[in-house]
Amino acid sequence: MDPRRTALITGPTAGIGAAFARALAASGHDVVLVARDGGRLTALADSLATAHGVGTEVIVADLSQPDGLAAVAARLADRDRPIDVLVNNAGFGVKSSFGRSDVEDEQRMLTVLVTAVMRLTHAAIPPMLERGSGSVINVSSVAGWITGGTYSAAKAWVTVFSESLSAEFAGSGVRVTAACPGFVHTEFHERADMDMSSVPTWMWLEADAVARQALGDSERGRALSVTGLQYKAFSALLRHAPRVIVRRVGAARSTSGRFARR
């Protein structure tokens, strides 16, 4: 009998992260859950263990802080307790425009969305390469294809980083995928006090659909995962459009809402 596989998910207490945790547990993965809220982590761990009979582990950590990031990286690098799937999903949003925001908030967002993704992936990859198997899914955003301040720039980094690693490790048994959703029904926007009322109904996705698509695309070895026909079309257009048009889309975005800042 094959040993049970283990997945580590950051930011799993709600939204896309919770959807990944449910899907991976349902497929028989033990789960390591990482977030700041110990109470919500424990409740999720208990519910997954009860529903699916999987092993659970909770790591209370703030990925914007060096000690929290180091603790999670150490768990990923532990060869005696291998991680087969890493989902870098932890999110961070800044409501204000760049000219009005607090620079420390901007820095924390970059730490969570960029530095943490890089360091946790760097910790996970060597043991995966040694075993000749493993998957990393980095939750990016279609916002990475437009001009939308620090957030879009961070997600652009995540997407290109993931594509680069996917090519680098081709044939090794290690797969790296960037999941690029658009607007997703989660509690994130409410918690960040973002008014999303102007976003049309047809632009919203469900978190479970995003997780299913990303896990399936990862299994198929795809570097990019985009959920929904509307976003597949939108992403293809933006990736090939002249930059002047992309900048106009980014400017229009600033008056109509933010792309899935989760």
Please say if the pLDDT value at position 1 is more than 50.
no
Q: What is the pLDDT of residue 239?
A: 74
Q: What is the pLDDT of residue 259?
A: 45
What is the chain's length? 262
pLDDT at residue 247 in the model: 63
Tens digit of pLDDT for each residue in 189-248?
A: 455 455 455 565 756 689 999 999 999 999 999 999 998 888 888 777 777 766 766 666
Question: In this predicted structure, what is the pLDDT of residue 261?
Answer: 43
Other beta carbons within 10 Å of 106 = 18
Instruction: Give the mean pLDDT of 171-182.
Output: 96
59-68 mean pLDDT: 97
Q: Which of the residue ranges 119-123, 152-156, 244-248 would you say has the lowest mean pLDDT?
A: 244-248
The per-residue pLDDT for 258 is: 46
pTM of the entire predicted model:
0.86
pLDDT confidence of residue 96: 60
Stronger pLDDT, 45 or 246, i.e. the higher one: 45
Burial class (CB in 10 A: 0-12, 13-18, 19+), 167: exposed
**pLDDT of 2 strictly over 80:** no
Burial 221-252 (b: 16+ CB within 10 A, else e): ebbbbbbbebbeebbeebeeeeeeebeebbee
For position 229, what pLDDT does the model report? 80
Give how far Cα 258 sits from Cα of 46, 114, 143, 174, 204, Å.
Answer: 33, 19, 8, 33, 12
pLDDT at position 52: 97
Residue pLDDT, tens place only, 89-103: 998 776 666 667 677
Helix (H) or strand (E) holding 43: helix 38-52
**Active-site hit among 151, 161, 188, 234:** 151
Residue labelled with tokens 């603790």: 71
Query: What domains does the chain contain, in order, with CATH numbers?
Result: 6-256 (3.40.50.720)
C-alpha 164: how far from chain center: 17
pLDDT of residue 194: 52
231 has catalytic annotation? no
Helix (H, G, I), strand (E, B) or coil at 32: strand
